Homo-oligomer: A and B are copies of this chain.
Amino acid sequence: MITLYHARYTRSLRVRWLLEELGLDYELKRLNFQAGEHKAPEYLAIHPLGRLPALADGDVRMFESGAIIQYLLDKYGEGRLHPLPATPAAASYLQWFHFGEATHQPYLSVMAQHLAILPEEERLPQVAGKARENALACMGLLDAHLSEHEYVAGDQFTAADIMVVYPLVLSQLFGLLPSEGHPHLMRYYERIEARPAFQTAVAD
């Protein structure tokens, strides 16, 4: 049985979304993020830094959303949601897969800290503002790319979209989306929002 440790609006939504796209059975263990359950001893025994998601699959224990997604695709994907390795299509897939977490997401994480998570007296508007500028630059890059492609890795929905969309979900929470200045990105986001698996993953 696959068990996913989950809290709304954390990176666990990526894994839940993939599990839904692949139609796999899984158990959801919900953590109350606001109540700090991710920093309670029970969860720190599963992820010592108290981050989400974490996954159990038989004897396998994992954290890191990108790693879990690659692992699940390799084990249960049967070739779905990613191109063949070592092709030009794979180069684009991998680039955007990693872009979603390594380049784009850190700016949203900083915004989350300085707009919502830190105690009010520790929040720094100039730090949130600089992160917002950088997040907008990432949105500009995505908008230009999506002016020529339906999905980030080409004409088909792939797991790279799952990686890329998480910072966009947070961008919506923080008022960066919708954005008239990013029409291709907006239409892309509407295509994503139409997917039932995405709707389930962000619902709660």
Contacts and interface: CB of A to CB of B under 8 A. Distances in A.
Interface of A: 48-49, 51, 57, 59-68, 70-71, 74-75, 85-86, 88, 90-92, 94-95, 97-99, 101-103, 105-106, 109-110, 122, 124, 126-127, 137-138, 140-141, 144
Contact of A94 (B67, B122, B127): B67
A145 to B, nearest CB: 9
A64 B141 contact: no
A8 to B, nearest CB: 20
Given A49-B137, A144-B48, A86 B106 contact: no
A61 B88 CA distance: 9
Contacts of A75: 85-86
A71 B94 contact: yes
- As for how many copies of this chain the complex holds, the number is 2
A94 B73 CA distance: 12
A62 B49 contact: no
Contacts of A102: 64-66, 101-102, 105
Majority DSSP secondary structure for residues of A touching B: helix
A141 to B, nearest CB: 5
28 contacts: A49-B103, A51-B103, A59-B88, A62-B91, A62-B92, A62-B94, A63-B99, A64-B94, A64-B95, A64-B98, A64-B103, A65-B102, A66-B102, A67-B94, A67-B95, A67-B97, A71-B94, A74-B85, A74-B86, A74-B90, A75-B85, A101-B101, A102-B102, A102-B105, A106-B106, A122-B126, A124-B127, A127-B127
B49 A138 contact: yes
A5 to B, nearest CB: 14
A5 B162 CA distance: 28
